[in-house]
Amino acid sequence: MKFSGQIWKYGDDINTDVIFPGKYTYTLRDPKEMGKHALEDLDPEFASNVQNGDIIFAGKNFGNGSSREQAVVCLKEAGVSAVVAISFARIWYRNAINNGLPAIICPEAVIAAVHGKHATVNIEGRVINIQDKTYSFPPFSETATEILKYGSLIIYIQKKLADIGNSKLAS
Amino acid sequence: MSMQTFAQKALAKSAGLQNVSIGSTVDARPDRILSHDNTAAISTIFNQFGLENVLQPEKLVVTLDHAAPPPTPIHARNHAEVRKFVTRNNIEHFFEIGRGICHQVISEEALILPGQLIIGADSHTTHFGWLGAFGAGVGRTEIAALWATGELWMRVPNSISVKLTGQLNSGVTTKDLCLHLIGQVSSDGGLYASIEFSGESISQLSIDSRTVIPNMMAELGAKNAYLPPDKQVFEWLANKLKHRLSVEAISKLAIYPDKGATYLEVIEIDLEKLEPQVAAPHQVDNVQPISVVAGKQVDQVFIGTCTNGRLEDIAIAAEILKGQKLATGTRMIIIPASSQILHSAVDLGYISILLDAGATLGTPGCGPCMGNHLGVPAAGETCLSTGNRNFRGRMGEPDAEIYLASPAVAAATALTGAITDPRSLEVS
């Protein structure tokens, strides 16, 4: 997987309430609609200007707060291809992987990233390119790699259930 | 075998293993799976697995609490879908609107016991550490996967030890302890970690006071939090179970960390030295001693939520407001965390005192905490809340300011109209 897009750079502790306001959690169901409210209370310019493939670079503890999965879905629907941060909140991180959105820990790239400039991400090669510099990031865990390969936890579980079904048929 | 933390022992047990090392990944099988108003959305995901019914319906607990009773037809439709799911799958542990907030209701129903594992589609599932259980939050898709498979991959976290000494002074609560800790180590100070409390001080704390602690550790980024359960906890649970399980049987389920277990960090806090704390907008770790923010005008005071909506919290408010009136220009919303709490607060006369003072009451549930239900502030207004988050827009309005504090600070503030140290009222 390779992604290429414009850098949207934000600070530390970008919480789930500013990514996707709680007031929408039980009223918005269409993922496309969720995308229109991405980062609404942090950067009102984001949702209307983000392009497919764009990459978010942020500081520490990205996605802290609520367990709401819409805080991942809205970014994906808005066109974000990956989020690179110094660190991630744990539930947001799991939700990202489970929805096939790469959440990449790479402090050096975050420091180098400039808002509005261009970046590329190569998942298999584990590198980020910003201008003419290259930054490498650590591998995903075995399970995260599997889920990212299938594209989502839903497909991963479908496969797992099918395997169980097949082994029952065989025995 | 090396000495083990609580997290190591609890996750080993849940995975059916003898022991597990920190950093390893296990397939955990939770004893309970929690969801609330989001059950409808989770069932939509579950339907994509092509299964007729959930694997272990007896493990599920479903509460309607986040927007209860429903404020709009859209919320009502959501609840209707949850009820349909619950009926189709024979979910025994289903709690209707008004019963209360999931974490409080599950505690009161004793649906989780010491040493057990509960996974919830709610970030404050850390709550259940108050009774010595392992509680962790996940997203909707993972709950759907749990309904299908009964298993979840979990990494055995590092643990941070927090040792408590001394006793809280009058006017200071466990909310102040939590805000102090979050202010000290910041909002990612416990990222991915199991926060394991210890110390003689814990046995001096009431059950209501204890529940605040693991609940608030979600704001440190913690995976779970843990208080060592004692006789007070076992007796409380046995009473709730109407002694279907004995105090002794419950105590045998408890898990305690070994002396000499490995901790990433050891933090010591002397409760005696704490003073009331306030988290100022718009981050939970923007914590100030009350002296710094005292005098800030407040439009609305909110006492409620899974953090501080319990009987003890309402009692503190009633004690401070007895025979008094709210300050002109300041309104007060009280939302008990459960129907049992509301019932007791009525019986004990607290609700009459608060209504006489000019406060209003909401249905047991989450209320305006996350901007979903009644009692949200207007743009330009300031709300002092006993809840757990003060992020911009949290209560629905990005141009409102939210301060977080204890119920004692909240009641003192409702009385004067500005952020007030409850200890200053005792002196006068």
Residue tagged 């959930």 (tokens): B54
Token pair in block for residue A17:
């309430």
Q: Mean pLDDT across the stretch A145-160?
A: 95
- The distance of Cα B8 from the centroid of its chain, to the nearest Å, equals 23
Whether B24 contacts chain A with CB within 8 A: no
Q: Which of residues 19-48 of A touch B (CB under 8 A)?
A: 21-23, 25-27, 29, 40-42
Other CB atoms within a 10 A radius of the CB of residue B332 amount to 25
Question: Which residue of chain A has the CA closest to B367?
Answer: A23
Residue tagged 């607290």 (tokens): B350
Q: Letter for the amino acid at A70? A: Q
Residue from the list B25, B142, B155 with its beta carbon closest to the beta carbon of A98: B142
Under DSSP, is residue B23 helix (H, G, I), strand (E, B) or coil? coil
pLDDT band at A171 (very low <50, low <70, confident <90, very high): low
ipTM: 0.95
Residues 6+ apart with CB under 8 A from B385: B301, B302, B305, B369, B395, B402, B403, B404, B405, B410
> What digits encode the pLDDT tens for the residues A64-105?
999 999 999 999 999 999 999 999 999 999 999 999 999 999
> What digits encode the pLDDT tens for the residues B111-165?
999 999 999 999 999 999 999 999 999 999 999 999 999 999 999 999 999 999 9
At residue A170, the pLDDT reads 72
Token pair in block for residue B183:
């202010």
Percent of chain A with pLDDT over 70: 99
Architecture of the CATH domain B279-424? 2-Layer Sandwich (3.30)
Pairing of strands A2-9, A118-122: antiparallel
Q: What is the pTM of this model?
A: 0.97
Token pair in block for residue A123:
């998942």
At residue A112, the pLDDT reads 98
Q: Mean pLDDT across the stretch A121-147?
A: 95
Instruction: Tell me if B140 and A69 make a contact (CB, 8 A cut-off).
Output: yes
Q: Mean pLDDT across the stretch B175-204?
A: 97
Listed by start position, the domains of chain B span 6-271, 279-424
Stated as kind and residue range, the H or E segment containing A130 is strand A127-130
Residue from the list B120, B188, B376 with its beta carbon closest to the beta carbon of A61: B188
Distance CA(A130)–CA(A112), nearest Å, equals 7
> What digits encode the pLDDT tens for the residues B33-57?
999 999 999 999 999 999 999 999 9
pLDDT band at B1 (very low <50, low <70, confident <90, very high): low
Homologous superfamily of B6-271 in CATH? Answer: Aconitase, domain 3 (3.30.499.10)
Token pair in block for residue B12:
């080993």
Chain A hits for B149, CB-CB cut-off 8 Å, are: 157, 160-161
Cα dihedral: A59, A61, A67, A71 (round 10): 0
Instruction: Tell me if A21 and B393 make a contact (CB, 8 A cut-off).
Output: yes
Percent of chain B with pLDDT over 70: 99
B257: left (phi over 0), alpha (psi -120 to 50) or beta: beta
What structural domains and CATH numbers belong to chain A? 2-138 (3.20.19.10)
Q: Is the pLDDT of residue A149 over 60?
A: yes
At residue A51, the pLDDT reads 98
Residue tagged 């599932």 (tokens): B125
E-strand stretches of B304-381: 331-334, 360-361
Distance CA(A17)–CA(B369), nearest Å, equals 11
Question: Which residue of chain A has the CA closest to B147?
Answer: A157
Question: Could you please report the per-residue DSSP string of B119-148?
Answer: EESSGGGGGGGGGT-EEEE--HHHHHHHHH
Residue tagged 């991963």 (tokens): A156
Token pair in block for residue B244:
């279907």
